[in-house]
Amino acid sequence: MSLLSELSQTSMKPFEKVVKFFITVSAFAAILISISIVFTLLTEAINFFQDPAVTLKGYFTATRWTPTFQNPEYGVIVLISSTLYIAVIACLISFPLGLFSAIYLSEFATKRTRKVIKPVLEVLAGVPTVVFGYFALNWITPNIIQRFIPGTGVFNALSAGIAVGIMIIPTIASISDDALNAVPNSLRNGSLALGSTRRITALKIMFPAAISGIIASFILGFSRAIGETMIVTIAGGQYPELNLDPRSAMYTITSSIVNVSLGDTPHGTTAYNALFALGITLFIMTFILNIASDYVARKYRKEYE
């Protein structure tokens, strides 16, 4: 056999071709599915806005969300504000706790402690959210909120927000911990060699060096809080009017989607189509946040290449 024919022998055996085909199809399937989801949401949302009872102005200015009432109103601002309100409560809980556990894990814990705590945190991330929902409704509300803040309803934003916050602590802790670990050990040594304590090293050197990754974890946590469904549906209630009192029930985008889709709302009605308008609203919100988090995270990766 000549050298040329030897070199031109293809190494792509039939089996490898099959494997390559399936891998390619799977990769494109993910993209295709995402596109079709957006497409479905969009077409149904357009149907929603074609109802004369719905106006884009009303969608953003009305202060009630009552699509199944006799005189329906579609004030999405009610839902957006509730969603953000509960997400902010969740962030107030999860940002400090998540960040402190990350700093503890990466800067103070011994290897052995870390080996125990990190998996426990990850288990917390694996608890089904419905469990957190009942935990909020049946434990946090009666034992903490109602005991210390009189006049709180059974369903309230505070309890839902706290439970969502607990749920996203592992997300924050784990990503921030990764960010801190990505900071070269030589910086830690450099700081300690100058006679600084572990505390100063953690706060003044490691934390600023990992800040982009930490911010990315915050944005991702916030995005998860916005998209969280079961906890807010179970513990947050469905109060359809604009309201900023944390002691009372609220109505998030996600819980109104659950509420309408669980009821007997007939297919094709405006109330039904409203689901898709909400879906696309939620999609846009989390999409922007995820892109922001990705952007920040990529920026921090550049710093140490």
Residues in the chain: 305
* Distance in Å, CB of 299 to another protein, minimum: 13
Nearer to another protein, 77 or 187 (CB): 187
Q: How far apart are CA 103 and CA 174, in angstroms?
A: 10
Within 10 angstroms of residue 97's Cβ, the number of other Cβ atoms is 16
* Distance in Å, CB of 196 to another protein, minimum: 4
Nearer to another protein, 119 or 184 (CB): 184
How far does the chain reach from its first CA to its final CA, in angstroms? 48
Q: How far apart are CA 90 and CA 159, in angstroms?
A: 10
Residue 99 main-chain phi, psi, to 5 deg: -65, -45
Within 10 angstroms of residue 126's Cβ, the number of other Cβ atoms is 7
* Distance in Å, CB of 200 to another protein, minimum: 6
Footprint of another protein on this chain (CB under 8 A)?
110-111, 184, 186-187, 189-197, 200, 204-205, 208-209, 303
Helix (H, G, I), strand (E, B) or coil at 287: helix
Q: How far apart are CA 25 and CA 30, in angstroms?
A: 9
Nearer to another protein, 119 or 190 (CB): 190
* Distance in Å, CB of 96 to another protein, minimum: 24
Nearer to another protein, 201 or 259 (CB): 201
Taking a C-beta distance cutoff of 8 angstroms, is the pair 278, 252 a contact? no
* Distance in Å, CB of 298 to another protein, minimum: 17
Helix (H, G, I), strand (E, B) or coil at 282: helix
Nearer to another protein, 158 or 214 (CB): 214
